[in-house]
Structure 1
Amino acid sequence: MDLQSVVDDIYADLAPRIGEGKVADYIPQLARVNPAQFGIAITTVGGEVFSAGDAAVPFSIQSISKVFTLTLALGKAGETIWNRVGREPSGSAFNSIVQLEQEQGIPRNPFINAGAIVVTDMVLAGHAPREAIGEILRFVRYLADDETVGIDDAVAASEQATGYRNRALANFMRGFGNLQHPVDHVLGVYFHQCALAMTCRQLSRSGLFLANSGRDAMSGHSVVSNRRARRINALMLTCGHYDGSGDFAYHVGLPGKSGVGGGILAIAPGKASIAVWSPGLNKVGNSALGSAALEMLASRTGWSVFE
């Protein structure tokens, strides 16, 4: 299969629709992003990279970072993390507080905001906030095999200034005893991890360990066990797109994680890691063009896990 032709064709087919969707405007810095951008990159387990469009333009990965912090937290705390966060799809908006009250401060899964804030609290254990941010950044640079990956401080400051809902979620969970560090420390780390800026090429490289049974396909180093990689993929498939997760599984059939910056990381187990980016979002907060591109890709490659 000529994957370069596949990505070129997908880009050409979607080019007339570039700019579709609505840019996330509740984070002021994201509202400034030009919506007329679209990139796609595939990194195969054999180490080949295929890309088209704006695949070398850095963007704010936002909630895609939750995959990397979950991986770190599992490395620190193992299966005990599931005492503090669930593994079920939420069916609610990513920043909902309603479910959290009914379920006694235990978030439904690690990919909604409340769950990711608890995971960040675990990564913070034994660290000052600055050290925890450094650990997350080092880990993502290691996965991307690229020291130029950084944090967009303007986006982090923008989130810090407007993150009232996240503060409410964090204080609420702290009230239930499910946060162990001061709320400001946890959110400081959380806002910085969401402000990681990466290109599609860097992001697809970073997810490669999940496509390769937990091993870095280039170096051969083990990042996580095969079993843990499988479980992270399962959570991405069932919970990775908020209340659009079922629809994404239905249309695309790949484990994936979206972010309101317009990026989506998708995993074809045993084959490749794929990153797409287009800032315009659909009704449930996932990249409109990115979702369409991944549906085309799954269809043209036969990579859906349900094939």
Structure 2
Amino acid sequence: MASVQTRRKRALGMFLVQLREHAGLKPDDVAKLLRKSASVVSRIETGHTMCDYSRLTAMLGFYGATDTERRQAEELWEEAHQDAALVEHSTAMPPKYRAFVKAWDEASTARMLRQTVVPGPLQTPAYRASMNKAASRYIASPIDIERDAASIEKRKKRLHGPNALNLTIVLDEAVIRRTIGGPAVMMEQLRHLVKLGRQPNLDLRVIPFAAGEYEIMTGAMTWLGFAQIDYPDAVYLEYPGGGEWIEKPKDVANFAASIDAAMSLALPMRKSATLIQEQAEALERGR
């Protein structure tokens, strides 16, 4: 199994930790019983590795799990096996970004702060193609572009349907002012944002230049919230060439507060939509 941490594997791992600790066993004890290294047990418990069914039943036996606990563990194991269908990622995409794509699929709520570029799931194909062209030195082959497109399309699907993601997007005004791909491409992108902003599950706002400085003016940030009570909120920070997960509760709370502060400076939804529409019209007049 690929050693990528997912929320469902973490849920299984956390449950196994509870059973192990209740049985009075340490990870080293379990490793000896399984005839595996302690690192294998650690990776199972942290959700990085998916154990096979025979190993799961062995661990449940070691822990003296009740019939109810066994059923619960087996349900969690089945859910972990049903992680979202794999999407082929570019080999250039770091593992943490691949984990982010899976977490995005499992989240119920997300909040994004972007200072320079429209977030991927809100981009039009022409806008993204222009961005890829500008960053061509970092793209190894055309296959990478195809896999990137598949990944973005998967994330876009979360914005629609009965279980659509509740998404808040805070954009710096610079995002709508910089003309990416030329006037026609940017005009299409801006009108697409206005259209998306009408969806009931999207809250799109713009921080005007007049607002001045705010806490996080560099580095794209995404906060993810999950409906499951045992799935803690997390933050993903993006930077050129990769990204970083923030999961310590205090740090996650600080980043969430930073988004709240940015929201307090942003225009209301209607005024934000008007500003975006006016920029699209200005581009059309200048063609």
Q: TM-score, normalised by structure 1?
A: 0.24
Q: Which has the larger radius of gyration?
A: 2
Q: TM-score, normalised by structure 2?
A: 0.25
Which structure is richer in relative contact order (CA contacts within 8 A, separation 6 or more)? 1
